[in-house]
Structure 1
Amino acid sequence: MSELLFKQFELTRGSFLKNIVAITAEQASVQPEGFNNNIHWHIGHVLTVTEQFMMGFPKKSSHLPANYIELFGNGTRPSEWTGDVPSVDDLRDQMKAQLGRIKEVPASMLEEKLKKPFLGLETFGEIANMALFHEAYHLGQIHAMKKLV
């Protein structure tokens, strides 16, 4: 089962990266009518939330800057951004590096119980599945936005 999960991370992240490779910074900054965010935000959001789910960011992981929570966490939006915002290229590189770290997670960790259930999920493996669902959802948002920009 664990092999399938990590293979799914490769497949999903590979598709995500493929879909954003040709997006310019200008296209990524457009917020189409009817959407709360832009492609730039979605990329940073997936990176940040996956780091939270899989690596315990920001308390247990220092691979991303702490301000990513304020830029890309739940409930944030680009219209409220202040200070240094990483480029789409930087986020893309960080997503590639993150996939490498995810693939290093020991399979035995997937069975570990969470200290406290999260959204009804009780094991780290269930959180990993949620991270995949979350990434695929935002990939769909990006796909729709690409058609409009």
Structure 2
Amino acid sequence: MRLLLYIMAVSVFVYSPTNLANSIVQQNLDFGTLVIPSNSNISSVIIKADAEINTTGRIYVLEKGQPAELLLTDFPALTQLTMHLVNSVTVQHNAQGSSSADFEVRLNGFPKSVRTDDLGEAKVFIGGTLITKPSSKSYSDGDYSSTTNLEISIDY
């Protein structure tokens, strides 16, 4: 039985018409603690923006993860923000070197719009999908992590 703890840190770049906006990562995308008994089939863990978790194939969740949480600040109060990903984000990753199998991470559940509060702030939740890649290699026990840049264009 193999355990996998996977955490993905997200660096965020926000582009807005005034370029005065800021973003703060409140919580990284975390796939939790997983068991992958074999790596002969494609399996996946999907964490939705609302924190619902689904799995496919032969991958099991021992400890639930959670979506990334971003705090957007310095926008006008009570304003609808329309968001677009500047680039699609997919991470090919092998954190344990050549001894461990590869996996892929895709971001999902990115909202198209959000409304700011009285302080000009808005929370954004972003889910992700972790996909195993079948191979003769297994997943080594350990902590797996990766960092990716997320570029967001915001109109209001």
Does the alignment reach a TM-score above 0.5? no
Task: Give the TM-score range, shorter chain.
Answer: under 0.3
Give the TM-score, by structure 1 length: 0.24
Give the TM-score, by structure 2 length: 0.23
Higher helix share: 1
Higher strand share: 2
Q: Which has the larger radius of gyration?
A: 2
